[in-house]
Homo-oligomer: A and B are copies of this chain.
Amino acid sequence: MQTASIKQVLGGEIAVGSEVTVQGWVRTRRDSKAGFSFIHLNDGSTFGNLQLVADKDLPNYDDEIRHLTSGCSLTCRGKVVESKGRGQSVEIQAGTVEVVGWVEDPDTYPVQPKKHSFEFLRTVAHLRPRTNTFGAVTRVRHAAARAIHEFFDEQGYYWINTPIITSSDAEGAGQLFRVSTLDLMNLPRTDEGKIDFREDFFGREAFLTVSGQLNVEAYCLAMSKVYTFGPTFRAENSNTARHLAEFWMVEPEIAFADLNDLARLAEDFLKFVFTRVLDRCSEDMEFFAERINPEAIERLRKLIETDFVRMDYREAVSILADSGENFEYPAEWGLDLQTEHERYLTEKHCKAPVVVMNYPDEIKAFYMRLNDDGKTAAALDVLAPGIGEIIGGSQREERLDVLKRRMAEHGLDAETYSWYVDLRRYGTVPHAGFGLGFERLLNYITGLTNIRDVIPYPRTPGHAPF
């Protein structure tokens, strides 16, 4: 007899009348007065539960089946039959129901089939994938990750696993986690009394990466089209719904490319990923639209259909100044755009995703290419309705002399970055790339507003690592 996933059974892959084995965890049990029980079984393969109909004539009906509670695991052998109930086309007429694992003290089982607060579920992160919401998050996260890899692979990009442990700080101003094997009770000291990192594992001070960009640039200048997709870290002590200490980032980098090429890539990328997720996770997305954000599906569809608007930062500031809106923060040349500004531009003014380009040089990082006006850098942000900035990128400064001058201005250590500067000595080319926070993308897709709810285990101050 074949074993099938619930996705296969509900998807019609197993013919009505076939015998099949299914396995999973009980969501609910309901006993009919007519002498049988309906068990809703979930195995995570899909959103829906499979209904098992267990007759009172089953040998373990009274002793076991009638005692099944949410969370119990079981193996059921039975026949696929058409369902007379609502909401499913087929169900299983159980031949045998073997209870594999009971729930110790069902009354205290943390993920009962009822509403739980998100805050509570973060404290039981090992059990929350058994709920509708976090099962759906897991499948959508997988589908989005798969779509990201597919998008790049189909276009000839190579995935580069840039270092997690690094000695450079890509942003020049990040808050870093130190990685060390030094004995804290017995720290080695230099003659001047400082910590002697020559005694540490790598022979120098090392940190968790905040971005793979600098490293992936080297690969870009050999392989032409590359991307990273891996974990990055920020030791920001901000316990907000938008910040994570550990998050995954997507960073494509393309050679022989300028800011317009990058804007096109960002637009193609978002449209591709959203299309695939809507296609492959329709039930999960319907759930998010029903329970989390009514716009969840519609705003993705709209974004897919809409041409992105491109405008200069200068123009954006002028639109904001002329808007008549009462913003909390000022919008003027030389200041970064705030979320309220971004959302005005994309939701009210353009009614479309917006790519803001060419920001004032002084608010941008040292590696962004200085434009010919000497005042702006070839940087862009992609703003999406309902969330604001979702992608940030730039053309990179490929000119050796300009890069060296800007590194000096930013006070960067020439030796630490010597290999990065090197790339401009040897066959430098215009190149550009962007960064996208994967979890921020998932917040946008699912409609879930807290970033801790789209990762498998919360990792923020106050949510200690498992």
Q: Is A272 an interface residue (CB 8 A)?
A: no
Q: A5-B224, A201-B237 are known contacts; what are 4 more A-B pairs with Cβ within 8 Å?
A: A7-B156, A23-B429, A45-B224, A201-B461
Residues in chain B near residue A319, CB distance under 8 A: none
Give the nearest-CB partner of A44 in chain B: B223
Over the window 5-34 of chain A, the binary record of Cβ atoms lying under 8 Å from chain B Cβ atoms (1 yes, 0 no) is 101000000000000000111100000000
Name 15 A/B residue pairs within 8 A (Cβ), A-sorted. Answer: A24-B224, A71-B427, A72-B427, A101-B398, A103-B425, A104-B425, A125-B218, A125-B419, A126-B420, A138-B219, A145-B159, A165-B233, A178-B180, A184-B195, A206-B465
Q: Is A1 an interface residue (CB 8 A)?
A: no
* Residues of chain A from 150 to 186 with CB closer than 8 A to chain B in the complex: 153, 156, 158-168, 175-182, 184-185
What copy number does this chain have within its complex?
A: 2
Residues in chain B near residue A419, CB distance under 8 A: 124-126, 466
Over the window 244-270 of chain A, the binary record of Cβ atoms lying under 8 Å from chain B Cβ atoms (1 yes, 0 no) is 011010000001100000000000000
Residues in chain B near residue A44, CB distance under 8 A: 158, 222-225
**Beta-carbon contact of B224 and A160 below 8 Å:** no
Given A126-B218, A231-B161, the answer on whether A179 and B181 have CB atoms closer than 8 Å is no
CA distance A208 to B181 in the complex (A): 11
CA distance A168 to B75 in the complex (A): 32
Which candidate, A127-135, A304-312, A326-334, A335-343, is the interface stretch facing chain B? A127-135
Give the nearest-CB partner of A463 in chain B: B202
**Beta-carbon contact of B222 and A129 below 8 Å:** yes
Q: Is A423 an interface residue (CB 8 A)?
A: yes
**Beta-carbon contact of A428 and B101 below 8 Å:** yes
Residues in chain B near residue A25, CB distance under 8 A: 221-222, 427
Q: Is A149 an interface residue (CB 8 A)?
A: yes
* Residues of chain A from 212 to 249 with CB closer than 8 A to chain B in the complex: 215, 218-219, 221-225, 230-231, 233, 235, 237, 245-246, 248
CA distance A243 to B427 in the complex (A): 34
Shortest beta-carbon distance from A36 to chain B in Å: 22
Q: Is A459 an interface residue (CB 8 A)?
A: yes
Residues in chain B near residue A465, CB distance under 8 A: 163, 165-168, 202, 204, 206
Which listed residue (B45, B195, B230, B398) contacts A231, Cβ 8 A?
Answer: B230
CA distance A439 to B225 in the complex (A): 22
Q: Is A109 an interface residue (CB 8 A)?
A: yes
Which listed residue (B134, B149, B194, B248) contacts A146, Cβ 8 A?
Answer: B149
**Beta-carbon contact of B223 and A129 below 8 Å:** yes
Over the window 431-444 of chain A, the binary record of Cβ atoms lying under 8 Å from chain B Cβ atoms (1 yes, 0 no) is 00000000000000
Residues in chain B near residue A420, CB distance under 8 A: 126
Give the nearest-CB partner of A162 in chain B: B456
Shortest beta-carbon distance from A139 to chain B in Å: 6
Shortest beta-carbon distance from A253 to chain B in Å: 12
Q: Is A357 an interface residue (CB 8 A)?
A: no
Shortest beta-carbon distance from A212 to chain B in Å: 9
